[in-house]
Amino acid sequence: MAINLDKLVGFHQKALSLRTDRMEVISGNLANANTPGYKARDIDFNKAMQSARASQRQDLVKTHENHISGSMASNSFLEYRVPTQPDTGDGNTVEVQAERNRFLDNGLRYQASLEFLNGKIKGMKKALGSGGGQ
């Protein structure tokens, strides 16, 4: 029986990639906190993951080997953030403390996803090692 690593880690790999992209966007927001007119942006993680799920389902139900499967592009989920505080006069919409909180939250979720993937890979290694007739 062939092992399909995309089925094992594909979805979680996309989540890690998306979390990495989101970390870069939030870092850019923080770096531009004092830039007049800068508009804070973020990746809509839920929409991007729904797209990844749909893409994965399409890959599973591929009707012909020459059909092209869709891919997730996180830039298409990049949106401007709606500020929760009034404008300070310079047009910048970065709220530093909120961005720091989002950065930390995203980092923790990235670590959790990484640990989950690590557990899946360890389980696969264990299964492969025990099936070798030792």
All structural domains of the chain with their residue ranges: 5-130
Q: CB–CB of 100/108 below 8 Å? A: no
pLDDT (tens digit per residue) in 59-70: 544 444 554 444
pLDDT of 40: 95
- The DSSP string of 2-56 is ---HHHHHHHHHHHHHHHHHHHHHHHHHHHTTTSTT---EEE-HHHHHHHHHHHH
> What pTM, to 2 d.p., does this model score?
0.73
What sign for the dihedral angle of Cα 131, 57, 72, 31?
Answer: negative
Whole-number percent of the chain with pLDDT over 70: 75
Q: 9 CB contacts (<8 Å, ≥6 apart)?
A: 117, 120, 121
Strands 78-80 and 41-43: antiparallel
CA distance 45 to 110: 12
Tokens of 75: 């830039």
User: Residue 100, SS3?
Assistant: helix
For 3-32, what is the mean pLDDT?
Answer: 86
